[in-house]
């Protein structure tokens, strides 16, 4: 039986060691960047990148720069998301958010620093050579688009604009696909591309990633209603306080749980053709559905 806990711990240790090596020194900006980047967290995106490579027969270590960049981009987005101008959160991963631990200006620049460092890491890998340069460029483009103004950032602005409005399920899904799903999809596919996936494998993995990406956000919405703040490391009930459109608000709590379950079933169906190397992806899908934080 596949041991997901052991797999996650092993991969987290690898990515944490690599991430920590990128930011050294004792200056204010570096301290703020390091504070948020190394504050813990699930490391879901880099781990999905590793698993995406492994499922097609690739080696996770070949994805280390991309996995690191994905986590840097994710952390930058959290720093900015927590700012008073956005969600005004005081806690993240059980610790004071960056703008509380430091100040608003430093937090803003720490996010900017992590975003630009991510692209430096992707473009300056010692493993780039004439043979694989096109592959590196393809993955960098994929991640750039997922994180950019037509991806995650568009999802964020749509989320801000939706506060206090009544949205349809299609409108809500668009926000979450852009805000969360695009980067999760890029995580799985970047690993698969590094692992030399076939076009059919990429198509199946894209469906898997899209489904778990949306399920992840539905589960987030549910946890914001019924989650344990001590386990989550952040406050609950904030979506309702901001009058934000969420799946529980539109569908109801039980229907939202069922919808998340259906998405995970679809994700698992999409990778049925893969062999036992897909065990991490299958286990991660179920983890997303059952997670408590």
pLDDT (0 to 100) of residue 226: 81
Beta bridge partners of 91: 96
pLDDT (0 to 100) of residue 40: 85
- Kindly tell me if the per-residue pLDDT of 182 is higher than 80: yes
pLDDT (0 to 100) of residue 223: 92
Per residue in 239-286, pLDDT (tens digit) is: 777 677 889 999 999 999 999 999 999 999 999 999 999 999 999 999
| Whole-number Å distance between alpha carbons of 76 and 78 | 5
The DSSP H or E segment spanning 229 is: helix 229-232
Q: Which region among 29-38, 66-75, 161-170, 270-279 has the lowest average model confidence (pLDDT)?
A: 161-170
Contact 53, 192 (CB under 8 A): yes
- Number of Cβ within 10 Å of residue 165's Cβ equals 10
Task: Please state whether beta strands 91-92 and 95-96 pair in parallel, antiparallel, or not at all (unpaired).
Answer: antiparallel
Contact 55, 274 (CB under 8 A): yes
Q: Which region among 85-94, 128-137, 234-243 has the lowest average model confidence (pLDDT)?
A: 234-243
**What are φ and ψ of residue 91, in 5° steps?**
-125, 145
- Number of Cβ within 10 Å of residue 1's Cβ equals 5
pLDDT, mean of residues 18-43: 92
Task: Domain ranges for the chain, please list them.
Answer: 4-290
Beta bridge partners of 92: 95
pTM of the shown model: 0.93
Nearest CA among 209, 208, 207 for reference residue 186: 209
Alpha carbon distances (Å) from 6 to 1, 9, 40, 210, 290: 12, 5, 17, 25, 17
Phi-psi region of 252 (alpha: psi -120 to 50; beta: other; left: phi over 0): left
4-290 maps to CATH 1.25.40.10 = no
Look up residue 123 and give its two tokens: 């473009």
Contact 106, 36 (CB under 8 A): no
DSSP structural state of residue 63: G
DSSP structural state of residue 38: T
Who's near 125: CB < 8 A, 6+ residues apart?
A: 65, 136
pLDDT (0 to 100) of residue 131: 87
Contact 186, 70 (CB under 8 A): yes
State the DSSP string of 174-214. Answer: HHHIIIIIHHHHHHHHHHHHHTT--HHHHHHHHHHHHHHHH
| Whole-number Å distance between alpha carbons of 67 and 43 | 9
Look up residue 289 and give its two tokens: 């559905």
| Whole-number Å distance between alpha carbons of 217 and 92 | 17
- Kindly tell me if the per-residue pLDDT of 231 is higher than 70: no
Look up residue 160 and give its two tokens: 């801000």
Nearest CA among 187, 155, 153 for reference residue 174: 155
pLDDT, mean of residues 131-141: 94
Which of helix, strand or coil describes residue 92?
Answer: strand
């Amino acid at each position: 039986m596949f041991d997901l806990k052991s797999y996650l711990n092993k991969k987290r240790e690898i990515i944490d060691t690599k991430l920590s090596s990128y930011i050294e020194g004792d200056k204010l900006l570096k301290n703020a960047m390091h504070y948020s980047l190394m504050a813990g967290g699930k490391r879901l995106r880099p781990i999905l990148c590793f698993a995406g490579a492994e499922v097609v027969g690739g080696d996770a270590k070949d994805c280390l720069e991309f996995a690191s960049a994905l986590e840097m981009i994710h952390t930058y987005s959290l720093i900015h998301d927590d700012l008073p101008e956005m969600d005004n959160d005081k806690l993240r991963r059980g610790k004071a958010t960056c703008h509380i631990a430091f100040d608003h200006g430093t937090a803003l620049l720490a996010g900017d620093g992590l975003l630009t460092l991510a692209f430096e890491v992707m473009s300056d890998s010692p493993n780039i050579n004439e043979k694989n340069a096109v592959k590196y460029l393809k993955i960098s483009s994929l991640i750039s688009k997922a994180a950019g103004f037509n991806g995650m950032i568009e999802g964020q602005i749509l989320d801000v604009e939706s506060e206090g409005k009544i949205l349809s399920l299609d409108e809500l899904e668009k926000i979450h696909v852009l805000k969360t799903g695009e980067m999760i999809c890029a995580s799985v596919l970047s690993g698969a591309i590094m692992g030399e996936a076939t076009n059919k494998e990429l198509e199946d993995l894209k469906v898997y990633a899209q489904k778990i990406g949306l399920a992840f956000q539905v589960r987030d919405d549910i946890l914001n209603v019924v989650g344990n703040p001590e386990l989550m490391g952040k406050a609950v009930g904030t979506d309702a306080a901001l009058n934000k459109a969420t799946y529980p608000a539109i569908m109801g709590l039980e229907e939202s749980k069922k919808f998340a379950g259906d998405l995970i079933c679809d994700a698992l169906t999409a990778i049925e053709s893969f062999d036992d190397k897909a065990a991490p992806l299958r286990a991660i899908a179920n983890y997303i559905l059952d997670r408590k934080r």
